[in-house]
Chains A and B, each alone.
Chain A
């Protein structure tokens, strides 16, 4: 099995996710970028799991998927809350706390 191909794919996905988190202004798109990062982790975990012949990596990936869903649920609720108060999903407008 070519482990490197999977690892490179995961690393590229992870970097795209980081870029999205840093560069995107829309709250929903930031959440999607976070999903990319977490799925890069899943690819890593499953590739390693197959490589070292150990099932716990796949179990780990299942937990990551479940918890990512819960996390994004709370995140969407917070973005919704801000949209209701500010009428905009633009994260640049949220800048009251500084110092």
Chain B
């Protein structure tokens, strides 16, 4: 029996795979290392084309016995991952080109990781989710340790690797129990089992371990301790990629598996997500408050943002409509853009001052107003100031929490509200350094111009953040589409 293969549905993955292979070959043959990032970005843009044609077509395409599905939900995330990949390449272009780095391999590994993400968006069984998750993470272990001679980068890679494999092992153990109890590998099969039978306590153990594994991947408290170290030690474009794309990959897996498979067994997953959400928001924000290094601050802020994203997920079982699920997706899409922008600005500043200390941002508003304006927009958007995109993300999160109306959800909403206020302080702290402090004469500045690619990436994100802040219906529509059967 031969499986029927729908090449149109698989086109984004095929284009990416071919690009990876071509990049590897070109890097081997051609001396001009600039060619590889150009080819890589072309490949990513090429992979967006079938995503668009597929979404215009609109039909659900199911393959391989229901284990691989290309529906609206998958397409929304594929689009997000490819756009983030393109922006990451823009941000990396000069950073990787100028340092003591292997240039060609960097983009090969980056695109391999993106390939894993596009597969993840379509994965509908435990095996495919596992394989996609590993395709996302294994290349990023090497990327985090990319500065071979820098022991900090080595440490970042090692910590990320160890946490990565341990969390995978825990997740797999959980998945094996889930499989054993339900007897099903496909997520739909697990759901059918849960609807038909009263699941034993062992199933809850499996769900718990699976969720713990994912919590490591999305760096939710108390499984977040690796994130600040890895983010600080890794090359900054890699950090941007990890905190946005690979985190989103973990979230997509989490949403898929909870929404499709575990959903009927509310008691086994809801308390876990609830605790993760509350702990991530609170501890992430409190730790971010006392950071002096901006990368570490953004690392803890991304832990806290992960907590905000988990809030709609924690209440999803109590909301009758899809609005909670849409909330997670909308928050994820907006977070990806604004966080990537913030890291791009960090790279641009570090090119001038060679420092990632927050004190080196003093007087940036005077020395480089354009950069300071963009950085302010990203940070205020992360803080959720009205009429920037991040505001709408917070709004849908709160709406989900208060719509459901259960006591737990309201408590979670209140915790989130307090945290949104705390978060404002450290985001605004950087803003104060930029606009109300004199430039520190001790910090050496070089007048290197910001490269075009980096500026382009920041401009694209700025326009996106401003446009979605004024016209959030566009992103809300995407969230709606994701959960509308085609």
Contact = CB atoms under 8 A, between A and B. Distances in A.
Interface of A: 14, 17-18, 21, 27, 30, 34, 37-38, 40-41, 44-45, 47-48, 51-52, 54, 56-57, 59-60, 63-64, 67, 70-71, 74-75, 77-79, 81-82, 85-86, 91, 94-99
B179 interface: yes
B151 A78 contact: no
Nearest to A31: B165
Contacts of A91: 158
29 contacts: A27-B158, A37-B169, A37-B170, A37-B173, A41-B169, A41-B173, A41-B176, A52-B183, A54-B184, A56-B127, A57-B180, A57-B185, A60-B126, A60-B127, A60-B185, A64-B130, A67-B130, A67-B131, A75-B162, A78-B145, A81-B145, A81-B148, A85-B154, A94-B151, A94-B159, A96-B152, A97-B152, A99-B228, A99-B293
Contact of B134 (A14, A34, A67): A67
Nearest to A59: B127
B138 A52 contact: no
Contacts of B412: none
B141 interface: yes
Nearest to B178: A48
A64 B185 CA distance: 14
Contact of B229 (A40, A74, A98): A98
B397 to A, nearest CB: 28
A57 B185 CA distance: 7
B166 interface: yes
A56 B185 contact: yes
Nearest to B170: A37
B246 to A, nearest CB: 15
Given A70-B134, A78-B161, A34 B166 contact: yes
B415 interface: no
Interface residues of B, number: 45
Rank and list the top 7 A-B pairs by shortest CB-CB distance, nearest first.
A48-B180, A37-B169, A56-B185, A97-B229, A52-B183, A44-B176, A41-B172
Interface string B118-137: 00000001110011001000
A54 B193 CA distance: 15
Contact of A78 (B157, B291, B296): B157
B232 interface: yes
Interface in B100-155: 125-127, 130-131, 134, 138, 141-142, 145, 148-149, 151-152, 154-155
A21 B158 contact: no
Interface of B: 125-127, 130-131, 134, 138, 141-142, 145, 148-149, 151-152, 154-159, 161-162, 164-166, 168-170, 172-173, 175-177, 179-180, 183-185, 228-229, 232-233, 291, 293, 296
A96 B155 contact: yes
A62 B148 CA distance: 33
A77 B185 CA distance: 33
Contacts of B145: 78, 81
Contacts of B291: 99
A96 B166 CA distance: 22
Contacts of A47: 180
B233 A71 contact: no
A15 B186 CA distance: 28
A75 B141 contact: yes
A26 to B, nearest CB: 13
A61 to B, nearest CB: 9
Given A71-B134, A74-B141, A45 B176 contact: yes
Contacts of A27: 158
A86 B291 CA distance: 28
A82 B144 CA distance: 13
A17 B162 CA distance: 13
A46 B158 CA distance: 31
A82 B130 CA distance: 28
Contacts of A63: 127, 130-131
Contacts of A81: 145, 148, 154, 157
Contacts of B175: 60
A8 to B, nearest CB: 13
User: A17, A60, A79 — which one has the most chain B CB atoms within 10 A of its CB?
Assistant: A60
A51 B291 CA distance: 52
B180 A78 contact: no
Contact of A94 (B158, B164, B177): B158
Chain A CB within 10 Å, residue with most, of B125, B141, B176, B229: B176
Contacts of B180: 44-45, 47-48, 51-52, 57
B352 to A, nearest CB: 24
Nearest to A94: B155
Nearest to B206: A44
A63 to B, nearest CB: 6
Contacts of A74: 138, 141-142, 161
Given A44-B173, A82-B158, A97-B232, A21 B166 contact: yes
A85 B175 CA distance: 38
Nearest to A72: B165
